[in-house]
Amino acid sequence: MNVVIGSWFNLPRLGGDTFSSLMKAGVKYEKGKGFMFSPETDVRLAARIIEKATGQEIGLSVSCYICSEVACPACTYQTICDRRSVSPMCLCDEHFSADDAYETYVKVFEASLSE
């Protein structure tokens, strides 16, 4: 199962104890949307809880901070990156290698401050 940090995903019914454990780990839940690993989530703990409850390994990805596309598939650092502890403000390879990467990153950050 692959989970994109910061995006909604669905899980099968896992039982009250598991649901409670996920909430304590900081996983967000909204009826109709599902679950989300947010900045407040203890990602390591939440992934372990889900893996234990479903018997499936959890693959984690992050979205590009600039374009919101999943950044991991073509990332140069994919094999050495620990997505359980990396910042969700990563850049995809396209934006990372752009000449104006820093300026674009700052513009997106400034825009997020006014939201």
What is the number of domains present in the chain? Answer: 1
- For residue 46, the model assigns a pLDDT of 95
Residues 6+ apart with CB under 8 A from 73: 61
CA within 13 Å, CB half, 50: 25
**The two structure tokens encoding residue 77:** 């650092």
pLDDT of residue 63: 85
What integer pLDDT is reported at residue 90 of this predicted model? Answer: 86
CA separation for the pair 71, 44 (Å, rounded): 20
C-alpha span between 83 and 62 (Å, rounded):
7
Q: Tell me the per-residue pLDDT of 46-82, one tens digit each, with 9 for 90 and over.
A: 999 999 999 999 988 888 888 888 877 777 787 887 7
Domain that holds residue 16: 1-115
